Amino acid sequence: MRKFRQSWVNAIVAFTSSLTIVSCNSSSPTTNQANTTNNHKLLKMIYWQAPTILNPHLSTGFKDSEASRITLEPLATFDGDSKLIPVLAQEIPTVENGGVAKDGLSVTWKILKDVKWSDGEKFTADDVVFTYQFVTNPKVGSVNSGDYAVVKNVEALDEYTVKVTFKEVNPAWYSIFVGGAGMILPKHLYAKYNGENAREAPFNLLPVGTGAYSVSQFKPGDSVIYQKNPYYRQPETQNFERIEIKGGGDATSAARAVLQTGDADFAYNLQVESNILQELAKANKGKIITNFGSNSERILLNYTDPNRETPEGERSSVKFPHPFLSDLKVRRAFALAIDKNTIANQLYGVTGKPTSNFLLAPPELVSNNTVSEFNLEKAGKLLEEAGWKDTNGNGIRDKNGIEMKVLFQTSVNPLRQKTQEVIKQSWQSLGIEVELKSIDASILFSSDPSNNDTVEKFYADVQMFTTGNNNPDPTPYFKVYTCDNIPQKSNNWSGDNYSRFCNPEYDKLLQTVIKELNPEKRVIIFKQLNDLLIEKAAVIPIIHRADVVGIANNLEGVSLTPWDSRTWNIATWKKK
């Protein structure tokens, strides 16, 4: 586990102490007023999972999208009430205003005029077209390419009008250039990096955006410093002169800095045991905000063998099925041996509840056909039926000379490590040997093709993390599990189907919902897709996780939405 970078917090404490001494001994009210003003113009944020890249199209991690979203913007986004609101668009397209084609084959966006990038260059429709070209270029290896697979073409009709044409009828036209996966990149800077050199672009570290704040300094894995974007279109809303994101440490330390000591104003992703959070909140320096959206903590089982290697050096290759997790009975046994209630009640408390569904939002699409069951006896019988027995008496099940041993990985986080222990205890009681591995989040979710410890590579048997759909239309979310979305060496590890699940029945069913215009029929198909994933144990949802952040008592404007980053509306945040 990486040591907590305490220096920043210590510096803040020392600085705060010095202000206290000055205010007690100085008779000058002007000094006090200046100090108060400066404090209100500085926003201090703790992202214990430190950002490592500021191009959201090249990273899997929420931490990177969060930090990018302060600078980069989409055409539109959904607020917490699932209402579509314009950001860089003049208005939301509709059939009535001519934006949405009646045949469902295209949507036309009118973008804002007189918007400038933070380097002073003009923002135009060409930037939107280029972003599509960048994200869909296979040589780039964008993590968001799957979201745009339904698009046939994007063209600039004029300087401020963009037309998106779909390959087929698309009822979910609002999933393109919207929300976190829809952030627009500047063509004039990235045009030279639209290929295999995409990760070499200097703007991945010092992005130029249209948002309220621009990056002035970035130390990957450590800190990001923002300043006002001098060309922002609504300067009256820029309430901070400086924003600081500090990384490192753990979720508990981040929560303490906001809730107990008051050393920071905002703490991201507080995946902390509920009783600890409640205790820290008693100090009344800050408050906890929770929102049950679309995210779940889930288990992924590797359908491929992480220990066999192709001649090209590729592990977890589709050429080599997993020796036992490719068996449905075995996967179901693993799922039956997870005590979700204990994990929810003893670890998550009010911030999480057991779930058996892949899709958790919006509510009208959530299936009521699945059931969470913890049954070690039934799990044991399934393993026996699959032929996995302890033939040599060493306490580990085996078959054909192969022992049932698994490497179980997740990110460094005390709550996750305790969850691992609960699951390990149950699995080992069944005769499954479990080795636990924890990887720094900045590495696990980096999407770095040169690193072997990423979720894409999945060089383990089991992995655990949280994610969910980032749009009320979950079509892109379900596309994660299609056969052509498997990360592998040939696509530079750019797919999201980390488990390497491939089921033609599932892919065919997904194609029907993409074309279906009837809302009632789409609901039925979405539930069928969810149920198929659970029935095949392609993914094992554990906990419906609330989005939990900590904010200072005087910080206003923070509003959580399941459909965008926590920083989606930071342009309107302010301190009382």
Q: What pLDDT shows up at residue 490? A: 87
- Mean pLDDT, residues 176-182 taken together: 93
| 320 SS3 class | coil
Which pLDDT score is estimated for 25?
A: 30
> Which stretch of DSSP H or E encloses residue 15?
helix 6-25
What is the per-residue pLDDT for 123? 98
Residue 153 pLDDT greater than 50, yes or no = yes
pLDDT band at 171 (very low <50, low <70, confident <90, very high): confident
pLDDT of residue 28: 36
**For 293-546, CATH number?**
3.10.105.10
pLDDT in tens, 240-273: 999 999 988 888 999 999 999 999 999 998 989 8
pLDDT of residue 14 exceeding 50: no
531 and 480 Cβ atoms separated by less than 8 Å: no
DSSP state, 4? P
Average pLDDT for the chain:
91
Bridge partner list, 370: none
**Does residue 531 surpass a pLDDT of 90?**
yes
Contact between residue 356 and residue 370 where contact means Cβ atoms under 8 Å apart: yes
Task: Give the number of other Cβ atoms within 10 Å of residue 451's Cβ.
Answer: 14
- Residue 515: per-residue pLDDT: 81
The DSSP element (H or E) to which 301 belongs, if any, is strand 286-301
Asked whether 76 and 133 are in contact (CB, 8 A), the reply is no
- In Å, how far are 177, 297, 444, 491 from 139, measured between CA atoms? 20, 31, 22, 8
**E strands in 440-573:** 462-467, 540-552, 555-556
Under DSSP, is residue 124 helix (H, G, I), strand (E, B) or coil? coil
Q: Which residues contact 445 (CB under 8 A, 6 or more apart)?
A: 49, 59, 60, 61, 62, 63, 64, 411, 454, 455, 465
pLDDT confidence tier of residue 2, bands split at 50, 70 and 90: very low
Residue 187 tokens read as 């063509």
User: Quick one: average pLDDT of 424-434?
Assistant: 98
List Cβ neighbours of 479 (8 Å cut-off, separation of 6 or more).
Answer: 146, 147, 149, 485, 510
User: What per-residue confidence (pLDDT) applies to 49?
Assistant: 82
For 549, residues 6+ apart whose C-beta sits below 8 A from its C-beta are: 266, 267, 268, 269, 270, 288, 289, 558, 560, 566
- Split at pLDDT 50, 70, 90, the class of 536 is very high
Q: Give per-residue pLDDT as tens, 78-118.
A: 998 889 999 999 999 999 999 999 998 999 999 999 999 99
When mean pLDDT is compared across 123-132, 208-217, 462-471, the lowest value belongs to: 462-471
> What pLDDT score was predicted for residue 492?
85
CB within 8 A of 410, min separation 6: which ones?
416, 417, 419, 420, 437, 438, 439, 444, 463, 464, 465
Alpha-carbon Rg for the chain, nearest whole angstrom, is: 24
> Any idea what the Cα angle at residue 289 is, between residues 8 and 79, rounded to 5°?
110
CB atoms within 10 A of CB 194: 18
pLDDT for 146 = 83
Instruction: Retrieve residue 299's tokens.
Output: 């288990």
**How are beta strands 106-110 and 161-166 bridged, if at all?**
antiparallel
Q: Which of 298-307, 335-344, 388-397, 443-452 is predicted with the least confidence, judged by mean pLDDT? A: 443-452
Provide the pLDDT confidence category of residue 27 given band limits of 50, 70 and 90: very low
Q: What is the mean pLDDT of residues 525-545?
A: 97
